[in-house]
Chain A
Amino acid sequence: MAVKIFFSLCMSAVVYFFIVAGKSSPAEWIYAGFLMVLFVQMIRTGDFSKYRRIFQFTFAFLFAISFIGILYDERGSMAIAEDSIQNSEIPFCHITIPLTMLPYFITKTVIFPARIIGHFASVISMLLIWFIVTITIGRGWCSWVCFYGGWEDGVSRLSKKTRFRLLSYNKDIRAFQFAFLFFIILVSFAFLSSVYCEWFCPFKIVTEFSQITDIPGLIATVMFIGLFLGLVIVMPFLTRKRFQCVSFCPFGAFQSFADRLSSFRISIDTDKCSGCMKCASSCPFCAIDKDTITGKKGRPEITCAKCGECIAVCPEKAISYQFSFVRKGCSGPEAESKTGEIIQMFLEPGTLFLFSAFTFSVIISSKFGPDALMRIFSIFTGGL
């Protein structure tokens, strides 16, 4: 109980500092209250996954409203103006991080038309955020921080039952995601342009898009809409998986490799595991196969995003968060004193992971959440 109260108080300080401090509109207080309710529920019930889903869907929705609103304020349209490209004023998107690295290292060219520094969505800001998040929660970015993934999280829960089972295709889906990553990296390098943004981004429809001035522009727009409907709406609805995240997102694949730097991982206790496969069915990232369980690997596959769905459904309580530096099969020593027991309770990996991941959720959403709420209020009060 003391641990839960302690972390709740710490989180309230984080929420206050990043969302409320120095501002006075009710939107900030409402959003801060919403986040605190979610965090307290997570830490009180131990059910991270349900409240995480609520957060991510809300964040994705609010992000779209805020981002589009800001675009209308600045440009009067969601369409990218030629001036914005020429002046490198496009907000740097984290999905393009893997495609910009190789061209930069070899040709010293940043192929994305964003500011390098001096803006919250500049290249350096995003790289810094990415690095800090990566060494802390790794691919947990996808299930706790990504402002696109929430769309799939929300849509995948609209259907009560799985209409199309992907379990037997898990390996192929994962292979395709990595193939798509390498394809995007190589062609972006060959053409020195962000090919993903030009043709394959499913989220243009909820962010910004190029003006349709010619037939190729029209084809690209049809592709953007088709990819959004197919990968973000239809497939998650049918499969109850985050289908775009697991099959098509180059950043997700890249983050699977970068996850080796992270401090936390998911651990499967192979002695406790009864092989019921509920974890595999519930995993939205296709990261648990039959082989993972029968082969007693002790951890999910490389695409695990630490969302906590498997932990929530495991009837044997065999799955848990663990520190990356703890070797497979090792457990912490038994506490020999009351003080040692208390320290162990405070250093429990699951609670520390939740605190770290939710802190990043708070920081990343701190601008967009209240801004979107203000815009929604202003619609009801007669303005935009």
Chain B
Amino acid sequence: MTIAGIIEPLVLGFSTGTWCVMYCAPVLLPFLTAREGLNQKRNIQLIGLFLGGRLFAYVLLGLCLGAAGLLVMEFFDPVLARRISYVAYIFCGIVLLLSGFRRHICNSGKKCFSVVKAASGDPMTALFSGICVGFHICPPFWTAAVRSAAIGNPLAGSIYFLLFYAGTLPFFLPLLGIPFFNNRFPGFRKIAHMTQVLIGAYFLIFAGLIPFIFRR
């Protein structure tokens, strides 16, 4: 791999990181702010799991696109990309809603499915929502996808995505301030929790199901 081959995806990620913030902020900000007793260690763990989920999605896509090579251009069109995004929003919405209503579902003394209980825990919510956000096809992602497909090698394709991903990471540094914010404004937790549920419902219905069913 050449120096240019390393720098290009890093710079692509760094220069388009605001897009990642745009898609990740609605998921991460309310989710982290709504956590009870969030200290710095827990905050870093949850951000790490979210980013890990996103990394998993990127590497998986990089492997697939790299393996398919330029053949991918035959079927990986904007319509398919949009449909992948809709599905990602549907799952992300479900994950956020399950996490948002976890207390009502599982702690109210009613019967709670163990799968729901496990899947709606904080670590799983962070991980799954990270995977869902990773599958959201945004313009810089699209560019990275085309470039990795042009490489025509699964390993090189996934490394391209890995470096693209690394370039976007600095934009997540401000999230380290959330525990300080939570300590200063404890009353905000309830508002953040409601925001998380509203965003979950929006992702599921308006950004996921409605366009998936009624639009191309």
Q: Which residues of A contact B (CB under 8 A)?
A: 106-107, 175-176, 178-180, 182-183, 186-187, 189-192, 195, 199, 214-216, 219
With A180-B194, A215-B213 given, can you name 4 additional A-B contacts, CB distance below 8 Å?
A187-B26, A190-B26, A191-B207, A215-B214
Interchain CA distance A190-B25 in the complex, whole Å: 8
**Contact surface of B with A, Cβ cutoff 8 Å:** 18, 21-23, 25-26, 29-30, 190-195, 198-199, 202, 206-207, 210-211, 213-215
Q: Which residue of B lies closest to A183 (CB)?
A: B198
Does B23 lie within 8 Å of A107, measured CB to CB?
no
Can you report 6 A-B residue pairs in the complex whose CB atoms are below 8 A from each other? A175-B190, A179-B191, A180-B198, A187-B207, A190-B22, A190-B23
A175 pairs with B18, CB closer than 8 A: no
Question: Are B194 and A176 touching (Cβ within 8 A)?
Answer: yes
Contact of A179 among B23, B198, B202 (CB under 8 A): B198
Identify B191's interface contact among A178, A191, A215, CB under 8 A: A178
Residues of A within 8 A of B199 (CB): 183, 186-187
User: Which residue from B18, B25, B213 sits with its C-beta under 8 Å from A107?
Assistant: B18
Q: Name A214's closest neighbour in chain B (CB-CB).
A: B214
In the complex, A178 Cα to B21 Cα: how many Å?
21
Q: How far is the CA of A183 from the CA of B200 in the complex (A)?
A: 10
Closest to B188 in A: A178
A78 to B163, CA, bound (A): 50
Cα(A56)–Cα(B59), bound, Å: 58
Known: A199-B206, A214-B214, A216-B211. A186 touches B26 (CB 8 A): yes
Closest partner residue, chain B, to A198 (CB atom): B206
List A contacts of B192 (CB < 8 A).
179, 182
* B140 to A: closest C-beta gap in Å: 13
Q: B21, B202, B210: which contacts A187 (Cβ < 8 A)?
A: B202
| Shortest distance between the CB of A303 and any CB in chain B (Å) | 13
- The minimal Cβ–Cβ distance linking B161 to chain A, given in whole angstroms, is 21
Q: Report A202 CB to chain B, min CB distance, Å.
A: 16
Whether B195 pairs with A216 at a CB distance below 8 angstroms is no
Decide: A183 and B215 in contact? CB cutoff 8 A. no
User: In whole angstroms, what is the CA distance A316 to B39 when docked?
Assistant: 47
Q: A189-B26, A190-B22 are in contact. Are A179 and B194 (CB under 8 A)?
A: yes
CB atoms of B25 and A189 under 8 A apart: yes
Chain B positions within 8 Å of A199 at CB level: 206
Can you list the 7 inter-chain pairs with the closest CB atoms, starting with the nearest?
Answer: A179-B194, A186-B26, A183-B198, A215-B214, A179-B195, A182-B195, A179-B191
Instruction: Give the residue name and chain of the A residue nearest to B206 (CB).
Output: A199
Alpha-carbon distance A375/B29, docked complex (angstroms):
49
A97, B191: Cα distance in complex, Å: 21
Kindly provide the distance from the CB of B139 to the nearest chain A CB, expressed in whole angstroms: 11
Q: Contacts of A195 on B, CB cut-off 8 Å?
A: 202, 206
- Which residues from chain B contact A106 at a C-beta distance below 8 Å? 18, 21-22
Cβ–Cβ contact A216 & B30, under 8 A: no
- Which chain A residue has the least Cβ–Cβ distance from B200? A183
Which residues of the partner chain A approach B26 to less than 8 Å between Cβ atoms?
Answer: 183, 186-187, 189-190
Closest beta carbon of chain B to A81's beta carbon, Å: 21
A106 (CB) vs chain B CBs: closest residue: B18
Chain B residues near A186 (CB-CB < 8 A): 25-26, 29-30, 195, 199
Question: Which of B23, B30, B194, B207 has most chain A Cβ within 10 Å?
Answer: B194
Kindly list chain A residues whose C-beta atoms are within 8 Å of the C-beta of B193: 179
Given contacts A199-B206, A216-B211, A216-B215, contact A183 B195 (CB under 8 A): yes
Please name all residues of chain B whose beta carbon is closer than 8 Å to the beta carbon of A176 when the two chains form the complex. 194
Contacts of B206 in A (CB 8 A): 195, 199
Q: When chains A and B are docked, how far (Å) is the Cα of A219 from the Cα of B213?
A: 13
B residues near A189, Cβ cutoff 8 Å? 22, 25-26
In the assembly, what is the distance between CA of A179 and CA of B213, in Å?
A: 28
